Chains A and B, each alone.
Chain A
Amino acid sequence: MSKLGIKAVTNLFQGFGALVSRQIKDWYKSTTLFALSLVQPVIWIVLYGESFPKVALPGISSNYFSFLSVGMLSFVVLFASIFSGMAIVFDRQSGFLKKMLVSSVSRGNIIMSYVVSTVLKALVQVAILLIVAVLLGMQTSNITTVGLIATFIAEALLAIGLSAFFTMIGILSADPNVQLAVMSFISLPLLFASNSLFPTSSMPDWLQWIAKANPLSYTSDAARQTLLGSSGMTNLTFDFTFLVIFAVVFSSLSVILSLKFLSK
């Protein structure tokens, strides 16, 4: 009986592991790509951390560098997700997508493999950024293991939702140039219309509304509360609920879209 149960489960995830490991291998086997991915968060935190004035802004209980560092974690996730949105486009162009589509791997698994491999890549970059930030003077007095885990969960949820979103754009775009343009168009506004760089309390009202609908805000908020112990925009429960809904809704949308659009 249990043997059948296990077989049913393995069938559900058939091919998933192979697809994810292929994406990850492609990433770390390309030394240039991998090195850039690792160095990028380091450069960002040094550059932004040193260039933005280290002033005590109203609404921040910790120093600004710590505030910013945690906000940059979302930034890293955002950019990792954008980059991976291109993966499906490259696979379509190389003919690899077709190979997957005629195999017996389910459409859902194909899409989620792009999402999960992005999440893994993003989390590696988050870890590196965090380590460098700490080395550069981020406040560590309030860090606990639970807090760290919670932060990673929050970043992972953000990564799931964002990469599902960008993968969807990849499925729908006929033209990779258009896709790149759309993603570039969205990314910086998404970053600035959140509390990743500045607290929402210091924003004009209209911007606050946008920031409060932005998943990056909730991620940064949750991470700041768990890592820095600072009081936040909203409470932790609300943050995580928002993020879970965001991740689930966008993943589901991407799977549904893949069923509709991958076989025209």
Chain B
Amino acid sequence: MSKNSLNLEAFNPHLNVNSENTPSKPIIHVMNLTKTFNQEIVAVNNISFQVNEGEIFGFLGPNGAGKTTTISMLTTLLRPTSGTAEVAGYDITKNPSKVRRAIGVVQQDNTTDRHMTGLENLIFTARLQGVPKSLAKKRAAELLNLVELSDAAQRKVETYSGGMRRRLEVACGLMNMPNVLFLDEPTLGLDVQTRTAIWNYIKKLKEERSMTLFLTTHYMEEADSLCDRIAIIDHGQIITYGSSAELKSKLGGDTIELGIKGEEGDLSQVISGLPMVKKLTKEGSVYRIKAENGEEAALAVLEAVKSQGYYVTKILVNKPSLSEVYLELTGRAFREDELGKESRHFFGRSLSL
């Protein structure tokens, strides 16, 4: 690795999270990265994490969390206010041009030229990236094949659907055969088929080309099914990170939501007394029960409640999910369609380059 890499363990002791016990090289080190706008708005607040080589890493958070700001810094579009990161062996503040050579970026906004054809866009990107002519044509054909745009390659991009254009963006981002591919909300606003197709390309890139993929998303399902490891970010800070399985296991089991008829009684003592119940919280008339095996525990709880003479109005068994993880850690529900005013502000920021 580069001579400037710091001993990350010494920096942040809690960062030794590794999904498998295989030695893996961190290809992205983020160290105390902070970005403040106008000396007031702290978009990214002292974050640190590592991405291992060859993995698909997801940066999950609601809109306005600081995902785009982070990825802009890692791809050298923005300079950090403090802290730094190493991407593919180069420091983003000291060697941004070397970082750019090693990475590919698929941005949230469309960057392809509408007046050119799909193929022309790819060849143009190749010329920009310094890919020699002979290689460019071959690679363009391969990439068009990967994103299933070979048939539409000779058509102008202005005739493409949104999904096709996004697929072309992915192809362009891969033209320089990067070590790391950054994708900023790759399936935002896309139909189900295109989204599934893009997920497949991402998986293929990891498996067939051993590429490292860093993506930001606010779709829980995307992070859960696609990513090897995830960092959950909110209000500019990383709340937790690790593999999906690890994060969910921290919840300590299933969650049962129980609604009882009548506000007066408090069944907390009775329910928490049950052997299978690990934890209990009461919010209004809803009881949230943690249990190892939700189904079995639910039956026991039902019995207990009935035996006390109360009626159950609702019962829900929730398997551990990332939304549960988020709720546990922040006390807020993760709303996927939320477009807070912060995000509009940052969106404007990242556009004003």
Contact = CB atoms under 8 A, between A and B. Distances in A.
Interface of A: 10-11, 14-15, 17-19, 22, 26, 29, 92, 95-106, 174, 262-264
Interface string B217-260: 00000000000000000000000000000000000000000000
A90 to B, nearest CB: 12
A249 to B, nearest CB: 25
B176 interface: yes
Given A99-B107, A102-B77, A15 B129 contact: yes
B78 interface: yes
A103 B79 contact: no
B128 A26 contact: no
B353 A264 contact: yes
B334 interface: no
B111 A18 contact: no
Given A102-B75, A263-B76, A18 B124 contact: yes
A2 B29 CA distance: 38
Interface string B97-139: 1001101010101111101000000001101111000000000
Contact of A264 (B78, B107, B128, B176): B78
Interface in B331-353: 351-353
Contacts of A263: 76-79, 96, 353
A14 B79 contact: no
19 contacts: A10-B130, A14-B130, A18-B127, A19-B128, A92-B353, A95-B111, A96-B111, A97-B353, A98-B77, A99-B111, A101-B76, A101-B77, A102-B100, A102-B107, A174-B352, A263-B76, A263-B77, A263-B79, A263-B353
Closest 8 A/B residue pairs (Cβ): A18-B127, A99-B111, A95-B109, A14-B130, A15-B128, A102-B105, A104-B101, A95-B111
Contacts of B130: 10-11, 14-15, 104
A262 B353 contact: yes
Interface in B77-102: 77-79, 96-97, 100-101
B100 A96 contact: no
Contacts of A264: 78-79, 353
A101 B124 CA distance: 15
B107 A98 contact: yes
A99 B168 CA distance: 13
B97 A104 contact: yes
Contacts, number: 75
Most buried by B among A11, A19, A102: A102
Contacts of B125: 99, 103
A106 B100 CA distance: 10
Nearest to A100: B128
A106 B115 contact: no
A263 B107 CA distance: 16
Nearest to A17: B127
A95 B347 CA distance: 13
A264 B72 CA distance: 10
Given A18-B128, A101-B77, A104-B130, A96 B353 contact: no
Contact of A26 (B78, B107, B115, B351): B115
A134 to B, nearest CB: 36
A95 B172 CA distance: 14
A15 B127 contact: yes
B112 to A, nearest CB: 8
A103 B107 CA distance: 12
Nearest to B103: A102
A105 B128 contact: yes
Contacts of B110: 95
Contacts of A26: 115
Given A11-B130, A17-B127, A99-B128, 18 more contacts: A18-B127, A22-B124, A29-B115, A92-B353, A95-B107, A96-B113, A100-B128, A101-B76, A101-B77, A101-B353, A102-B75, A102-B77, A103-B129, A262-B353, A263-B77, A263-B79, A264-B79, A264-B353
